Chain A
Amino acid sequence: MAAVVEVTGLRKEYAMGSDRVYALRGVDLTVQPGEFVAVMGPSGSGKSTFMHLIGLLDTPTEGTYRLEGQEVSHLSTDTRADIRGRRLGFVFQAYNLLPRTSALENVELPMVYAGVSEAERRRLALEKLALVGVPQLAAHHPNQMSGGQQQRVAIARALVNDPGLILADEPTGALDTKSSQDVMRLFARLNDEQGMTIMLVTHEPDVAAYARRIVTFRDGVIIGDAMNDRRAA
């Protein structure tokens, strides 16, 4: 089975006026199916930049990227959008649920663009809401939910197209300790029970402790990559 993520020599430069910012300076990383990777590192070390490239929200300046065996570093905007919708799931720090829209419809959204039929959308969305433990919130709007509940709905949305990889950039950044634990337990359970491949960025060791593998960035390169043998539960 092909690696979910296989990047080599990944570089990303930004032009800031006449200066150049080297956000990533050659990153190599392979993630196998079923892995749960926490990405750590100081602020400005390139974690988010890396997640954007892995999530096909941006293209690298240099380097190769194979996603589930397919070379994806130089695809058209539309093709990248299609792959994002079908093979990747995103969880954001700010949840990013559509306001004044029910949880059910929020979860259905990726399927709308993937061309899933309405009845099927509804069935799958309800199924995923149940899977993340908030089936009772289907009709609720985001402003009627706690942060933890919103993040669960967002995770259901990320899961709904059965992606090969879930990407989460500081998913607990806006949550209190209790909600953070709940959300991380959910990720761990999805990884254990569903074999879901997950990569998440965090600053907090407590959060990273739920992952199986911890990758550390500094100044745009990976300086540490180790298995986590003391997993939190």
Chain B
Amino acid sequence: MNLAATLRLALAALIRNKTRSMLTMLGIVIGVAAVLVTVAIGVGARTSVQQSINSLGSNLIVVQPGSVTMTGARSGLGGASTLTPDDGLAIAKLPGVAAVSPVASFRTQAVAGDNNWQTSVNGVAPTYTFIRSWPLAAGRFFNENDVASAAKVAVLGQTVVSQLFPNGDSPIGQTIIVKGAPFTVIGTLQALGQSGLGQDQDDTVLIPYTSAMQRLTGLTTVNVLMISAASADEIDPVTARVTALLEQRHRIVPPQTDDFAVRNLQAIAQTASQTGTIMELLLAGVAAVSLIVGGIGIMNIMLVSVTERTREIGLRMAVGARGASILRQFLAESVVLATIGGVIGVAAGGIGTLAVAALTHWPTTIPFEWILASVGFSAMVGIFFGYYPARQAAQLNPIEALRFE
């Protein structure tokens, strides 16, 4: 009997027991759908993390104040106030560093005319837009002269623009009041949207860091130093150089722990994707278990089928079927069963993925290889779990099989 005929026969046998075949398939359907949704979520989450990291700027390295241990109890990261704009200037001279910007930030109310808006004010250097790969929408950004003179100029994110200038007037040249001081708006930033953490990145007012520190907060330290490495290859060497430089500047000798932390986004991204991978493996494990359970269901029903059709098997043997033909016939049934289950599972997984995409707004996609792989794997489950029952059938003694009641 050729393959097409064998498969047709198998399909006919399965259709004869529609309900049973469907229920048996269910395990595989759920297993495959679970695998695909898992993969789609994993891919989607990773893409989404990667996108938000990319949106933070290229080759970004971040220096944060470290924990302090002076009082005995360690405060959390950022607890120490140790980073100064001078640290930033020193870092800028290191090889492999393309740009550095201190970030001195605080939340406060910004007022323009009758409108006011609680926002995040960031004192930064002119290099900031370059480091963040954040283009201007209109006007200009502040320059070194503005920094040197601690000029009262501001560049607004789009959310602030829409809150303070709701009637659509150009904010350029207008005055906003920040902590009682008037700042002239000289430019606006393009909309970036939400960060990976769900923060509105456009809800910000950028001013020169000198203006922020000297005129508004009176602090000498900054919250963060942002560094852009000259290239992706320079990220690790620059991270090491910055660490060494700051240890020297902060006079930290070995038993002491650093009062700062240098991180690059690649490392953060890796951590994120590692967490994602572990989650994915766990979910994939669960999915694989359900596939195996599905396989056992198939084995069970095939054993029932072999018992029910013992006389048929005996008759087929009497009229010339070899053991191998019987084996092939039953194996074909379990493979067809599992494969149809796999195909339905792909469809269900596709629907599930669309649902997840709708809920999370992640760019979820099922890679095509995974669709092929899950159908292939279903077929293999069919072979693996169908083999034992099929062999039982093939090894029946025709006389006993014909006599079977």
Query: What residues make up the interface of A, taking CB atoms closer than 8 Å to B?
Result: 52, 55, 57-58, 77-78, 81-82, 84-86, 90, 92, 96, 98-100, 109-110, 112-114, 157, 161
Contact = CB atoms under 8 A, between A and B. Distances in A.
30 contacts: A52-B399, A57-B398, A57-B399, A58-B399, A78-B322, A78-B323, A81-B320, A81-B321, A81-B322, A81-B323, A82-B320, A84-B317, A84-B318, A84-B319, A84-B320, A85-B319, A90-B318, A90-B319, A92-B402, A96-B311, A96-B314, A99-B312, A109-B315, A110-B319, A112-B1, A113-B1, A113-B316, A113-B319, A113-B321, A157-B319
A81 B319 CA distance: 8
Contacts of A98: 312, 315
Contacts of A161: 320
A147 B314 CA distance: 20
Given A58-B399, A96-B402, A100-B16, A109 B323 contact: no
Given A78-B323, A90-B318, 13 more contacts: A52-B399, A57-B399, A81-B320, A81-B323, A86-B320, A96-B311, A96-B315, A96-B318, A98-B312, A110-B319, A110-B320, A113-B321, A114-B320
Interface residues of B, number: 20
B277 interface: no
The 4 A-B pairs at the shortest CB distance, nearest first, are namely A85-B320, A113-B320, A110-B319, A96-B315
Nearest to A98: B312
Contacts, number: 56
B48 interface: no
A112 B320 CA distance: 9
B55 interface: no
Interface in B316-347: 316-325
Contacts of A110: 319-320
Contacts of A92: 402
Contacts of A85: 319-321
Contact of A77 (B5, B323, B399): B323
A106 B398 CA distance: 18
A110 B322 CA distance: 12
Nearest to A58: B399
A110 B325 CA distance: 12
Nearest to B395: A77
Contact of A113 (B16, B312, B325, B402): B325
Nearest to A48: B399
A133 B322 CA distance: 31
Contacts of A77: 322-323
